[in-house]
A and B are shown apart, each in its own frame.
Chain A
Amino acid sequence: MGDGGRAGNSSNSSGGSGGNNRPEWLQQYDLIGKIGEGTYGLVFLAKIKSNRSKSIAIKKFKQSKDGDGVSPTAIREIMLLREINHENVVKLVNVHINPADMSLYLAFDYAEHDLYEIIRHHRDKVNQSINQYTVKSLLWQLLNGLNYLHSNWIVHRDLKPSNILVMGEGEEHGVVKIGDFGLARIYQSPLKILADNGVVVTIWYRAPELLLGAKHYTTAVDMWAVGCIFAELLTLKPLFQGQEVKGVQNPFQLDQLDKIFKVLGHPTQEKWPTLVNLPHWQSDMQQIQGRKYDNAGLYNVVHLSPKNPAYDLLSKMLEYDPRKRITAAQALEHEYFRLEPLPGRNALVPPQPGEKVVNYPIRPVDTTTDFEGTISLQPSQPVSSGNAQSGGMPGPHVMPTRSVPRPMPMGMQRMQPPGMSAYNLTSQAGMGGGMNPGSMPVQRGVANQAHQQQQMRRKDQSTGMTGYPPQQKSRRF
Chain B
Amino acid sequence: MAANFWTSSHCKHLLDPEEVDIVLPIDKERGISVEDFKLIKLHMANYIAKLAQHVKVRQRVVATAITYMRRVYIRRPMTEYDPRLVAPACLYLASKAEESTVQARLLVFYIKKLYSDDKYRYEIKDILEMEMKVLEALDYYLVVFHPYRALPQLLQDAGMSDATQLTWGIVNDTYKMDLILIHPPHLIALASIYIASVLKDKENTAWFEELRVDMNVVKNIAMEILDFYDSHKIITDERVLAAMMKLNK
The interface of chain A, by Cβ under 8 A from chain B, is 7-8, 10-11, 67-70, 72, 75-76, 78-80, 82-84, 95, 97, 99, 102, 104, 152-154, 186, 188-192, 196
Contact A82:B140 (CB < 8 A) given known A67-B124, A75-B93? yes
Return the chain A residue nearest B94 by Cβ: A75
B interface majority secondary structure = helix
Interface size counted on chain B using CB atoms at 8 A:
36
Q: Give the A-B contact count at a CB cut-off of 8 A.
A: 91
Nearest-CB distance from B114 to chain A (Å)? 21
Which of B3, B103, B129 is within 8 Å of A186, CB to CB?
B3
> A435 vs B1: C-alpha distance in the bound complex, in angstroms?
35
B4 within 8 A of A: yes
B30 within 8 A of A: no
Nearest-CB distance from B92 to chain A (Å)? 7
> A316 vs B54: C-alpha distance in the bound complex, in angstroms?
49
Which of B9, B104, B149 is within 8 Å of A82, CB to CB?
B9
B74 within 8 A of A: no
Contact A67:B2 (CB < 8 A) given known A75-B97, A82-B141, A192-B99? no
Q: Is the CB of B128 within 8 A of A67?
A: yes
B247 within 8 A of A: no
Q: Is the CB of B2 within 8 A of A8?
A: no
A-B contact pairs, 19 of them (CB 8 A): A8-B129, A69-B104, A70-B135, A75-B97, A78-B142, A79-B2, A83-B143, A84-B2, A95-B140, A97-B132, A99-B129, A99-B133, A102-B129, A152-B3, A153-B2, A153-B3, A154-B2, A188-B3, A191-B99
Q: Which of B3, B97, B131, B133 has the most CB of A within 10 A?
A: B3
B21 within 8 A of A: no
Which of B3, B97, B103, B136 is within 8 Å of A97, CB to CB?
B136
Residues of B158-193 at the interface with A, using a CB-CB cut-off of 8 Å, are none
Nearest-CB distance from A94 to chain B (Å)? 9
CB neighbours of A75 from chain B (8 A): 93, 96-97, 142
Q: Is the CB of A72 within 8 A of B101?
A: yes
A interface majority secondary structure = loop
Nearest-CB distance from B163 to chain A (Å)? 22
Nearest-CB distance from A218 to chain B (Å)? 14
Q: Is the CB of B8 within 8 A of A189?
A: no
> A399 vs B141: C-alpha distance in the bound complex, in angstroms?
32
10 additional A-B residue pairs with CB within 8 Å, beyond A75-B96, A79-B143: A69-B104, A76-B97, A78-B142, A82-B140, A83-B143, A84-B1, A188-B3, A189-B149, A190-B99, A191-B60
